[in-house]
Chains A and B, each alone.
Chain A
């Protein structure tokens, strides 16, 4: 066993440990520790990825002295490695970009608690990515939920607290469904680790026994995680939650937390329930329909909004719809597109939330269209960042959104029954995206009218953190857009390893 193989385990434990230590540090030290920790874990994940790419296969890692069906396990492969590196990078940039605002929004003595939540959030995300055990997944889903709730309500405003309790209620509904699905699964298979559970599920499917429970398990686990990630009919908590948290929290929640759940769902579909069972039992079609409805309805809601942050949040609903549509296509190409869209969306949405901060700063902290008129001239870099993000969401060539739309379209061609609706909805949704994003971009670069209320003079902050974060996010977007080939290849290989 080579030493590199310990890296996933190290990264989870380091993240947790720094969270525990932060409880006695003061705010600044906790912040520095947290930044160092994120960098270190990202490096470790990169090491894991390099190792997996080198050997070309995945491996499991025993957590303790006991092998597979008895002890806990984690598992690392190419897809896990890519996702972990990506989550680390996004987390780092989101924390860097929101540093000043975090320091303002959070009481000074409670600052270290904020970074504890960031640390534990990262560790739980990594654990969700690497886990090979269903119950471990449940425990870390709970950590993720509670940390997310902490990140929302740390601002201590009325609106963010009511958003937090709503988020908590919806998440608990999701966890309850997930746990009962897990219990039924344990009842029919007798295993909690993914690999032996999959063997038993395959056996049951071959025998044709317990057909109804297996269907219910798929439905319940799917719905539970869909509630948590905010698929369309369950999206009511999203706008408040993303709209009123502190910027780092919005970026992390929209970019990472919901994606962590979707990743877990994909993992469960592939590694436990079997993707072909999902397709043959029509559950895939259900997800597909929900995804399509979400794509259109989310965009329609976004057009109605006047508050730009809520608009961005509603656009998340639409993008989550894209991902579920990709899962529901029922082909491996569709799944590759869905996973690539996870990356695209988390990079782009984090960029939008972070660069929007720069725009609000120069518009007197107002978030409606009128106040933002001309903000692109007042803070050029943030304007460029926002424009790049918007164009990427719309699907402008060279940017990441274009590639994921291309992938969705080509994968739709593979499945004859769903080709036409997919292409139509893709076109409609892209048009709607263009409507609301380009409206905002045009607003940003239009001259202020004389009848507009004057903007309170604010000294533009010389925060290199924000600039650095925006630049890096733009870079990530360009990398995803221009050098997509190796990443798509890695996703394809990783998904093949899942099987």
Chain B
């Protein structure tokens, strides 16, 4: 017995367990000297706990002071409630899973060609998609032509989400309000990371052009090969983010400012909106749209799909980059 106990101190299981519990960090060998020294980490944790405890006591004290016993009961109630939470969560999880599993057992088998989902709708997309939309990639043809209204709604979702993030995180750089100035100073977290890191810069030097070209390729070939505006835009956005982390805001601001962002998004979304409105309008009123579809397989083909992909790509790339800068320092 005692031997086993001795071993347990150094066993892999304990290490694994402490790692899972978040008490130690397996990567603690000096990647980030300020962050992961276990001592400081533990201190931080203890302080956090102490703060929380103090807060709890404070809460009870205030409660006792103001309202007497009922508030203490309430605080105690919250604690009971949290225990109740754990039990509830397991029950709820199992309940949902069981009900849905029961449902799944009554659903048609995956991969069967005779399933109700594989009906005339999919058949028409496959059989006539190439002639009707001009896109070799049937999925792209479907989302940008047959079901374009959904996709337009989707880019609006992205647009409005970026507006909401702007509301929350944007800090006005030329504001005269002192508190906002302080917030700007606080939110600049660049001094937590190495400046002008030579390894990062050299890597970025090689990688950024490749990433950008890959992104542009995905966007432009959206109708010919897997991909399209959204995935390509995300790749482009991550290229921009890499450039920014390597070279800093000053270099980036030569290329990309808030004005550029606003104008790009506005132009792309406006074009998207107008183009799709035109095609909806002509479609519903049974008019000829007069947009040539070109030879399938060529890069300049499939009517509006290519310009729309470019628009979506631009919007997505800008939005992703803007998310990053807003999260980092609340502005561009």
Contact = CB atoms under 8 A, between A and B. Distances in A.
A110 B266 contact: no
B154 interface: yes
B106 A213 contact: yes
Given A63-B283, A150-B167, A213-B107, A69 B120 contact: yes
Interface in A105-141: 107, 109-110, 113-114, 116-117, 120, 123, 127, 133, 135-136, 139-140
A70 B83 CA distance: 51
Interface string B150-166: 10111011011101101
Interface string B283-295: 1111001000000
Contacts of A140: 153
Given A13-B273, A64-B149, A71-B147, A117 B163 contact: yes
A74 to B, nearest CB: 8
A20 interface: yes
A175 to B, nearest CB: 11
B280 interface: yes
A200 B152 CA distance: 28
B160 A150 contact: yes
Interface residues of B, number: 55
Contact of B284 (A63, A133, A139): A63
B115 interface: yes
Interface stretch (B45-53, B96-104, B210-218): B96-104
Interface in B235-292: 262-263, 265-266, 269-270, 273, 277, 279-286, 289
Interface string B81-120: 0000000000000000001101100111000000111111
A190 B146 CA distance: 16
Contact of B160 (A107, A109, A146, A153): A146
Contact of A63 (B120, B125, B149, B168): B149
A66 interface: yes
A184 interface: yes
B197 interface: no
A139 B103 contact: no
Given A154-B167, A187-B116, A200-B116, A61 B148 contact: no
A39 B262 CA distance: 27
Interface string B304-319: 0000000000000000
B169 to A, nearest CB: 11
A81 B116 CA distance: 34
Contacts of B263: 24
A110 B280 CA distance: 33
A156 B164 CA distance: 12
Contacts of A31: none
Q: Determine chain A's interface SS by DSSP, over half rule.
A: helix
Contacts of B119: 190-191
Contacts of B289: 65
Nearest to A63: B149
Contacts of A16: 152, 156, 273
Given A13-B277, A187-B116, A212-B102, A1 B283 contact: no
Given A23-B266, A65-B289, A9 B153 contact: no
B150 A136 contact: yes
A65 B153 contact: no
Contacts, number: 163
Contacts of A13: 273, 277, 280
A147 interface: yes
A494 to B, nearest CB: 22
A190 to B, nearest CB: 4
Nearest to A196: B121
B84 to A, nearest CB: 15
B201 to A, nearest CB: 34
B282 A65 contact: yes
A16 B160 CA distance: 11
Contacts of A6: 281, 284-285
A369 interface: no
B121 to A, nearest CB: 5
The CB with the most chain A CB atoms within 10 A, among B146, B161, B164, B281, is that of B164
Given A70-B146, A136-B153, A146-B160, 13 more contacts: A13-B273, A16-B156, A20-B270, A65-B282, A70-B124, A109-B172, A114-B167, A133-B150, A139-B153, A140-B153, A146-B157, A187-B115, A188-B108
Q: Please provide the 3 A-B residue pairs with the shortest distance between their CB atoms, ordered closest to farther.
A: A65-B283, A139-B153, A72-B149
Interface of B: 99-100, 102-103, 106-108, 115-121, 124-125, 132, 145-150, 152-154, 156-157, 159-161, 163-164, 166-168, 170, 172, 262-263, 265-266, 269-270, 273, 277, 279-286, 289
Interface of A: 1, 5-6, 9, 13, 16-17, 19-21, 23-24, 61-66, 69-72, 107, 109-110, 113-114, 116-117, 120, 123, 127, 133, 135-136, 139-140, 142-143, 146-147, 149-150, 153-154, 156, 180, 184, 186-191, 200, 210, 212-213, 216
15 contacts: A19-B159, A63-B148, A63-B149, A65-B289, A66-B132, A69-B121, A110-B167, A136-B149, A136-B153, A142-B157, A146-B160, A184-B103, A189-B116, A190-B119, A213-B106
